[in-house]
Structure formats: C-alpha cells, structure tokens
Chain A
C-alpha cells in the first residue's frame, strides 16, 4: 500500500536550518510529482513547494522562495525539503503529498512533522 513517512521536524532558532525527509513506499516513486504542504497551528493548508518526476521543474510559494529547497532522490524513494533562514512564521506541521496525476490532486499524504521556530 502507498505510504509516505515524513521526518526531520523539531525545534530550531530563528535563522536556523532544518532538513525534512519523506520516505515513500508502495508505489513507483519516480512516476509521480510530489509536494510539501504545511499547516500553521490552528490555520489552514498552505502549499510550500512542488517537484516534477525528474526534479527538473520545481515551484515554490513566494513565502519560502530563496530560503527553501525541494529535492528528490528517486533511487532512494525519498523527497526532501531543505529549510534555511527559518522564521517564526515557518512554524507549522509539514506534510509531504503525492500528486495523483490529475492537475493538483494530492491523493496520498504523510503524517505531519512539526517544525517549531522559536528562540
């Protein structure tokens, strides 16, 4: 069965860095676009970044552009999010999600990993 397991969250000081990972199993990872989506405490969903199958095409939300880097390793069935220059407003639960093939249809989601940016 399809499984996405996100990890790497934690407490980090403003200006610090963190790297999130998402381990995929149960499907051919290299066939699917993937995304990171976050949810601040008590708030709605916010798309963060999106990567195509080969990683050649990548998109970012304006709020993270220049600070976050999405990447994938198809050989390891893994998705990553390198987060630099973290700010308090980046505090959120981060989900990785698979795009099922239609235009923006996130059909499988990981459990969330909590990132807290605080001094």
Chain B
C-alpha cells in the first residue's frame, strides 16, 4: 500500500509561520479529502483539520489546511512552544484503504 509523504521534521521560532506538506497521488489526495492530526508526546492523536480545511470546534484558528491537486499542507501561524508535536496527514485511498503520512516532528526552537 502506498503512503502519503511528509517531511520527517520541521522547525520554527515562536511567532513564526510554519507549514507541513503532505504529498499523495490521484487515488488518494487527488480524489478525496485530507485530515490532519496533532500528537503530543505520550498522548493520543487529536483531529486538527478535516475536509481539507475545516477546523473542529475548539481547535485554534492558528491552524489551517489547504489542498491543491495531489498535495496538501498544514499551516501553523503564531508558533507557540505547545505546538511542538508530531503532525500526521490522512486520506482515503480509492484502493479502499486509509492512508496516513509518515508524520512530521515539529520543533519549536
């Protein structure tokens, strides 16, 4: 099964804007919506973005999502120390599977 490709790491300083990319193909991101998850150390993942760019109630508007073609991005503005976590994208694949990206470890310098 294919995977969604994310950079293994990203970093930024407090207050900065950072983005995390997620690259797929026509059978997943290209034809289905993307969701994003934040996993703090030792915790279960938390839904940040669904339907490419929708935020669940309670998620800070510093988090935003976008999709173009077979790629998607998560943007975090006004970076804070508590944003240091692992971030995962996910999408349905037309081969009848759910795909997760490999994860991006975000470090706040």
Chain A residues with CB under 8 A of B47:
100, 105-107
Check if A80 is an interface residue, CB within 8 A of chain B: no
Q: Say yes or no: A102 contacts B33, CB within 8 Å.
A: yes
Bound complex: CA of A95 vs CA of B90, how far in Å? 15
CB-contact partner of A109 in B1, B46, B56, B99, under 8 A: B46
Interface size class of A (residues with CB under 8 A): 20 to 34
Q: Which residue of B lies closest to A110 (CB)?
A: B44
Check if A27 is an interface residue, CB within 8 A of chain B: no
Check if A44 is an interface residue, CB within 8 A of chain B: yes
Q: Say yes or no: B37 contacts A45, CB within 8 Å.
A: yes
Bound complex: CA of A111 vs CA of B96, how far in Å? 26
Chain A residues with CB under 8 A of B81:
none
Stretch at the interface among B11-19, B70-78, B100-108: B100-108
Check if B26 is an interface residue, CB within 8 A of chain A: no
Encoded as 1 (CB less than 8 Å from any A CB) or 0, chain B from 75 to 109 comes to: 00000000000101011100011111111000000
Q: Say yes or no: A104 contacts B103, CB within 8 Å.
A: no
Q: Which residue of B lies closest to A4 (CB)?
A: B44
Q: Which residue of B lies closest to A95 (CB)?
A: B44
Bound complex: CA of A85 vs CA of B56, how far in Å? 38
Q: Say yes or no: B1 contacts A44, CB within 8 Å.
A: no
Q: Say yes or no: B51 contacts A102, CB within 8 Å.
A: yes
Chain A residues with CB under 8 A of B97:
47, 59, 61-62
22 A-B contact pairs sorted by A residue (CB < 8 Å): A37-B45, A44-B100, A44-B102, A45-B100, A45-B103, A47-B98, A47-B99, A61-B97, A62-B97, A95-B45, A100-B47, A100-B56, A102-B33, A104-B33, A105-B33, A105-B35, A107-B47, A107-B50, A107-B56, A109-B44, A109-B46, A112-B44
The 6 closest A-B pairs by CB, nearest first: A105-B50, A47-B98, A44-B103, A109-B44, A45-B100, A102-B51
